[in-house]
Amino acid sequence: MTTLLAIGDMHLGRLPAGLPDSLAEQRRALGPATAWNAAIDQALERQVDAVLLAGDVVERGRDFFVAYGELKAGVERLAAADIPIIAVAGNHDTHVLPRLAAEIKQLELLGADGQWQRRVLADVEIVGWSFPQAQVRTSPLANFPAIDSDRTLIGLLHCDRDQAGSPYAPVSSSELEAAPVAAWLLGHIHRPDELGKGRPIGYLGSISALRASETGSRGPWLLSISEGKLRFEHLPLAPLRYDRLPVDISELDDAANCPGLVASVAREHLLTLKQRGIVPEAIGLRVVLIGRSAQARHMPAVAQQMIDGAEVWRESGVNCFIDRIDVAVQPALDLARLATQSDPAGLLAQRLLTLRGRDDAARQALLGEHRERLQLLAEGREFRELDRRLDDDAIAEYLERAALLTLSRLLAQREQGR
């Protein structure tokens, strides 16, 4: 059996952004260098046959010395155990990675000058390509070599998948699928794909969260290859993680109890993580208040108070902080009664009932009116990383939320007018 530890975007030299003030001093300890060291511990403990780096190992050229120190210490520990380190360069480290490879002799750069290159490791062969300059507008797969090998082939590449016109080595899914490799280990996109499912072609993801939008588990992947069969295991050893935390306030009778409820849901979340063996140094919670409540319209103010007064707290040995709070609480309203009225509130209530009802022509017409506009927004650069596919349910959810908010404001105005 051959085992490989595959690491995606590390960006050594970059520090996590947006931490609360009281964790600012720990920024370095919560950054990618800590994850890199933990990954090396795993590589040594599991005695892997090689460590693979899928590009953007280093954030910028001027981080040579930061990366040199951090990378070198790790590479030397691996080299002492005779574990090779094989890397391809990405768009961030096009120039600095070859320089580091020239200085650190155990670090092997694969596919220099944009030429595909192969590296044999027992019964496995790694085939990789490195960025020759910071921008590459054509697909590197156009020059993928014809390979005649009875070893299991593993592709290692930094690229932008299914983004035609991207300056970062655009490749299409169909090109990746057509290549004669057993797996593609990709770098560039920080959100990891589910490599354990189906044909393993996907992004390894960042090794540790670099910003709050990088939610969920981060870390290297352990790949075991035995008689041509591949097994993937994600090792979520990132020192910093962010998670979306839905908190249902439907049962809350007093808004003043909201912080306590958030704390208890956070506690449960951390216990669940702990049971899965995931214990980061710090966790940023992206709270989403959900549910239906008569207090819905007070919740934005409650959320703001919580954010203003938020401090880091310890839970299960982890530093917890609230990164943000979104309010998606729906007002508890008697829609059926409202819908009998012919005023704006009544018209809104009717549309809400249509949205929640069965999928008939009226509902489709309503969704159709907004599909294109919402899709354009979702594809905007700001939201692209969210990778939000807008199906009918997602559109209905957005429309419902907007309509309910408007409706509760209308009703509040009416109350005040009385």
Q: Which residues bind Mn ion (CB under 5 A)?
A: 56, 90-91, 188
Helix (H) or strand (E) holding 330: strand 330-331
Q: How far is the CB of 16 from Mn ion (least distance, A)?
A: 17
Q: How far is the CB of 64 from Mn ion (least distance, A)?
A: 18
Q: How far is the CB of 239 from Mn ion (least distance, A)?
A: 21
Q: What is the dihedral of CA 156, 158, 163, 164, to 10 degrees?
A: -90
Identify which of residues 49 and 56 has a Cβ nearer to Mn ion in the complex. Answer: 56
Q: How far is the CB of 261 from Mn ion (least distance, A)?
A: 40
Q: Cα(399)–Cα(382) distance, rounded to whole angstroms?
A: 20
Identify which of residues 188 and 241 has a Cβ nearer to Mn ion in the complex. Answer: 188
Q: How far is the CB of 183 from Mn ion (least distance, A)?
A: 20
Q: Cα(234)–Cα(231) distance, rounded to whole angstroms?
A: 10
The closest alpha carbon to 32, from 214, 154, 200, 274, belongs to: 214
Q: Cα(77)–Cα(85) distance, rounded to whole angstroms?
A: 11
Q: How far is the CB of 332 from Mn ion (least distance, A)?
A: 47
Identify which of residues 91 and 408 has a Cβ nearer to Mn ion in the complex. Answer: 91
Q: How far is the CB of 147 from Mn ion (least distance, A)?
A: 25
Q: Cα(31)–Cα(9) distance, rounded to whole angstroms?
A: 12
Helix (H, G, I), strand (E, B) or coil at 370: helix
Helix (H) or strand (E) holding 247: strand 240-248
Q: Which residues contact 223 (CB under 8 A, 6 or more apart)?
A: 3, 4, 5, 6, 154, 183, 185, 230, 231, 232, 233
Identify which of residues 91 and 208 has a Cβ nearer to Mn ion in the complex. Answer: 91
Q: Are strands 107-109 and 85-87 parallel, antiparallel or unpaired?
A: parallel
Identify which of residues 188 and 351 has a Cβ nearer to Mn ion in the complex. Answer: 188
| Amino acid (1-letter code) at residue 249 | I
Q: Which residues of 19-52 are buried (b: 16+ CB within 10 A; e: fewer)?
A: beeebeebeeebbbbbbbbbbbebbbeeebbbbb
Identify which of residues 89 and 405 has a Cβ nearer to Mn ion in the complex. Answer: 89
By Cβ distance, which residue is nearest to Mn ion? 188
Q: How far is the CB of 381 from Mn ion (least distance, A)?
A: 16
Identify which of residues 134 and 265 has a Cβ nearer to Mn ion in the complex. Answer: 134
Identify which of residues 134 and 263 has a Cβ nearer to Mn ion in the complex. Answer: 134
